A and B are shown apart, each in its own frame.
Chain A
Amino acid sequence: MGILLTIAHRLAILAYIVFALFPLYWLLKVSVTPNDLLYSEGVRMWPSHATLEHYRYVIENSAFPIFFRNSLIVAGSTALAVTLISSLSGYALSRFVFRGKYAVVALMLITQMFPLVMLVAPIFKMLSPLGLTNSLTGLIIVYTAFNVPFATFLMQSFFDGIPRDLEDAAMIDGASRFTAFRQIILPLTLPGIAATLGFVFTAAWSELLFALMLISGNDSATFPVGLLTFVSKFSVDFGQMMAAGVMALVPACLFFLLIQRYLVQGLTAGAVKG
């Protein structure tokens, strides 16, 4: 009985994984299928002969490397900025009592309620006289603004999980509040910081709406916008589009590979009585 249950459990997890990963597999499969086989072979799990031709073409003949670089700059800067701001604001919300605290929290929640489409026009109107449309800086500012509230709540919950006694002890030991934050609390929040970095990085990496509306022209386009250039008036170049897509996945995967060590680490093991 127990064994059957375990098997059923594992099968359910397996089914879910297959379901979740199948589109990625299809992305990979189409990206290595030669154009002449794409429509002629019908539905097959793997083409009769695979090629890296699409990858070569995308790297050599399209603006994809530029898109890629732009995305890296935008997503990386946004992730850093948001994590820095939200770890400070999250700490404040977690530890301090101050006037207007709940008003601030309510306002931050409200910003999360609007459909972003509503905000495209006013934001464009504001950024354009500042010369921030068609610029990566403009995108970083917008992404940072939109991600800070959620990241703040995320960081706050991580700080809430760290006993206050630790800072109290550090301050009695002779640390200022900021030193206690930097030397005691921050190292213990590394898993939270990694989660926030990862979350914001992927959000900014794949954002399409604002990138599409605020950016025109290839020079400042990020890769989600760039992917659309493979759609022409008369046809869609699926092979190249998928090859670009696979390459766009690489940084996100690498990023999570780097931070996963912190994500799974026990939060405050041993700090207080276990």
Chain B
Amino acid sequence: MASIEMRDIVKIYGDHPVLHGVDLSIEDGEFIVLVGPSGCGKSTLLRMIAGLESISSGTMSIDGREVNDLKPRDRDIAMVFQSYALYPHMTVADNMSYSLRLRRSPKEKIAAAVAAASAKLGLDPFLARRPKALSGGQRQRVAMGRAIVRQPKAFLFDEPLSNLDARLREQMRAEIKRMHAEFGATSVYVTHDQIEAMTLASRIVAMNAGAVQQIGAPLELYDRPANLFVAGFIGSPGMNMLEGTMEPESGTSAVRLVNGTTISLGQAVNLPKGTSVTLGIRPEHVAIRPAADGVAASVELIEPTGLGIILHLTVHGLPFKIFSSDRALLAPGSDLTVGFPTERLHLFGPDGQRIALGTLDASGSTS
């Protein structure tokens, strides 16, 4: 097991920079999830840890030792690929034992390691089969088995569940979490699926356009997103973003939306009048109010998810979403009043960065 340290990591392809100076310290035993949209550089960063991608500048250390120029074979890490990358001409047992055989481990040790891994993953009946005779989920397990027989310093996962159907994905997700709890191995996991990121990570690294946007515990990113990107990326259905301008009132500030509606922030915010800001609120935090002390909205569309409903609304022409576990009998076209609880509001400045609002940022501290 090991810690991984990245200092100002840059990657340039030709003259096209894809990573602009990433700093990240991964503690021994942590489960780090790199999350972001495709093309944000998260897979490139993972491949740089593995040694499959050269580092243009900056330093990468594993266990305190700089590995910039170390070949993948000398880094002692294991990786699970999205495509599984099983060797098609080898049996499951040979696939799992390949790394140990390359290391010339004693035969008894190899047999014991393979037996232990296959028992843990339920692969015993398939050891003599070739990968093409396995289902997707079984192949995924073999790929995991190949990684754990080695007992490496760290595990790298490159979107390992993307090729599985939803049900299997959920099952394997829990299994990966269980395995991490059991072995406590340092893990770096790349995904574009924010649910995987939320459920697995000890810390999430949210990335966009080759730069780290925020690093923190899952709920920290959820409760206090550092900027508009993180606010929009984490959470499903996504956070409502309403553009407007600051409207200082007596004592408490408010935001005037582009449609003229004014929403109170419930406290004074030190921004000049007219500053353009974005107000964010998660769909599950919007209050549906019968009374007239809210903002009038009309229902456009209702998506039942089973767990609850997602209401697509318009507030004076602006699209808006609400998630409610109450299956209220609302029909498309009906009108209702919505309220914005001030303690649930997120405010982002003209540069897209979070502006601290006393309520959430002080009391909402959970981690």
Contact = CB atoms under 8 A, between A and B. Distances in A.
A269 B99 contact: no
Q: How extensive is the interface on chain A, given as a class? A: 20 to 34
Nearest to B99: A173
Given A174-B103, A179-B102, A166 B85 contact: yes
A166 B73 contact: no
A271 B88 contact: yes
B132 interface: yes
Pick from B52, B79, B87, B133 the residue with the most CB of A within 10 Å.
B87
A174 B130 contact: no
User: For this complex, into which size category does the number of interface residues on chain B fall?
Assistant: 20 to 34
A184 B101 CA distance: 14
Interface in A145-196: 163, 165-166, 168-176, 179, 184, 187-188
Interface in B76-112: 77-79, 81, 83-89, 98-99, 102-103
A265 B125 CA distance: 26
A270 B85 contact: no
A168 B89 contact: no
B329 to A, nearest CB: 44
B136 interface: yes
B50 interface: yes
B102 A271 contact: no
A274 B84 CA distance: 11
Contacts of B86: 270-271
Contact of A175 (B47, B73, B131, B136): B73
Contacts of A163: 83, 85
Nearest to A168: B52
Contact of B72 (A166, A171, A269, A270): A171
B280 to A, nearest CB: 38
Given A187-B89, A271-B131, A273-B136, A172 B84 contact: no
A272 B85 contact: yes
Contact of A270 (B81, B88, B146): B88
A213 B102 CA distance: 52
B123 to A, nearest CB: 15
Given A165-B81, A172-B77, A184-B87, A270 B132 contact: yes
Contacts of A166: 85, 87
Interface string A258-269: 000000000011
Given A169-B79, A170-B98, A172-B50, A273 B73 contact: no
B203 interface: no
B313 to A, nearest CB: 40
B71 interface: yes
B139 interface: yes
B252 interface: no
Contacts of B134: 270
A143 B88 CA distance: 35
B85 A174 contact: no
Kindly name the residue among A168, A170, A172 whose own CB sees the greatest number of chain B CB atoms within 10 A. Answer: A172
B275 interface: no
A123 B98 CA distance: 49
B94 to A, nearest CB: 11
Contact of B98 (A173, A270, A274): A173
B88 A172 contact: no
A172 B52 contact: yes
B163 interface: yes
A30 B188 CA distance: 73
Interface string B333-358: 00000000000000000000000000
Contacts of A271: 83, 85-88, 131
Contacts of B85: 163, 165-166, 168-169, 271-272
A60 to B, nearest CB: 48
Given A171-B72, A172-B79, A174-B99, A273 B84 contact: yes
B131 A270 contact: yes
A239 B20 CA distance: 78
Given A271-B86, A273-B139, A172 B78 contact: yes
Residue among A169, A170, A188 facing the most chain B CB atoms (10 A cut-off): A169
A147 B103 CA distance: 39
A270 B88 CA distance: 6
Contacts of A187: 89
A122 B44 CA distance: 51
A270 B129 CA distance: 11
Nearest to A171: B72
Contact of A173 (B47, B51, B146): B146
Interface string B131-143: 1111010010000
A174 B79 contact: no
Interface of A: 163, 165-166, 168-176, 179, 184, 187-188, 268-274
8 contacts: A168-B52, A169-B85, A172-B73, A188-B88, A270-B133, A271-B85, A272-B83, A273-B163
Given A168-B50, A175-B102, A188-B88, 12 more contacts: A163-B83, A163-B85, A165-B85, A168-B52, A171-B73, A172-B72, A172-B79, A173-B146, A174-B102, A174-B103, A269-B88, A273-B139
